[in-house]
Amino acid sequence: MHIQNFKPLATNKAKKNALQILEAGLTTAEPKNFLKFFISKNEIQIGKNRVILSNYEKILVVSYGKAADSMAKFVSELVDVSQGIVVIPKYAKSCFTDKNFKKFFGSAATNPASNIFNAFFFALLIAKDLKF
């Protein structure tokens, strides 16, 4: 349950109904509830095409935004990720720790250049070792 203080807030039927609607929305918005249609054990479904990730030597993941942390966590549970970058809001509570991921905190609203530059620079460091 997302709303940790549900019972104290649900003091009447109308409030309980409103909280149930909010809870349903929060559950539906969890990345795992929509990513599961596109990502399964070491494969990604893109339209009618299925990409078998075990055919690739390295898998790199870049995730940016409010749900970046939980999306990276979901993907790393199903895919053997070589390296990754996660950029989440400055004051967000991180739910994901993985030695293969470099995490950046910040806010595009307050200092977009800093976040984007640091994440982009790190991506370049990873990519320089790749052969295309």
Taking the C-alpha atoms of residue 100 and residue 17, their distance in angstroms, rounded to an integer, is 42
Tell me, yes or no, whether 64 lies in a domain: yes
pTM above 0.85? no
Instruction: Give residue 121's pLDDT.
Output: 67
Tell me, yes or no, whether 103 lies in a domain: yes
Confidence of residue 132 (pLDDT cuts 50, 70, 90): very low
Instruction: Give residue 92's pLDDT.
Output: 79
Tell me, yes or no, whether 3 lies in a domain: no
- Domain of residue 70: give its range: 57-127
Tell me, yes or no, whether 112 lies in a domain: yes
122 or 111: whose pLDDT is higher?
A: 122
For the segment 5-22, what is each residue's pLDDT rounded down to a tens digit? 999 999 999 999 999 999
* 84-87-91-93 Cα dihedral, nearest 10 degrees: -30
Contact in structure between 58 and 81 (CB atoms under 8 Å): no
Taking the C-alpha atoms of residue 72 and residue 103, their distance in angstroms, rounded to an integer, is 10
Tell me, yes or no, whether 26 lies in a domain: no
Tell me, yes or no, whether 14 lies in a domain: no
What is the mean pLDDT of the segment spanning 56-74?
89
Instruction: Give residue 111's pLDDT.
Output: 57
91 or 30: whose pLDDT is higher?
A: 30
Taking the C-alpha atoms of residue 113 and residue 14, their distance in angstroms, rounded to an integer, is 45
11 or 64: whose pLDDT is higher?
A: 11
For the segment 23-54, what is each residue's pLDDT rounded down to a tens digit? 999 888 888 888 999 999 999 998 999 999 99
Sequence-separated (6 or more) residues with CB below 8 Å from residue 108: 115, 116
Mean pLDDT of the chain: 84
